[in-house]
Amino acid sequence: MNIAAKRLALALTCFFPLSCVAHDVTIPAKAASTADSATVNRALLTNSLLPNIEGHRLTSVTVELKPGVTVPSHQHDAFVFVYVLQGQVISQLNKQASVEYKAGDHWLELPSDIHSATQNPSKTEMAKFLVIFIAKDDARLTTSGELTKGSK
Calculate the CA 8 to chain-centre distance.
Answer: 14
What is the average per-residue pLDDT within 6-12? 45
Residue 133: how many CB atoms within 10 A of its CB?
A: 25
What is the average per-residue pLDDT within 46-55? 94
pTM attached to this predicted model: 0.73
What is the average per-residue pLDDT within 114-127? 93
Q: How far apart are CA 105 and CA 70, in angstroms?
A: 19
Note whether 15 and 40 are within 8 A (CB). yes
- For residue 113, give every residue at least 6 positions away whose Cβ sits within 8 Å of its Cβ, in sequence order, or none: 75, 76, 93, 94
Q: How far apart are CA 53 and CA 34, in angstroms?
A: 39
136 by DSSP, 3-state: which? Answer: strand
Architecture of domain 3-149: Sandwich (2.60)
121 pLDDT above the threshold of 90: yes
6 pLDDT above the threshold of 80: no
Q: How far apart are CA 31 and CA 35, in angstroms?
A: 8
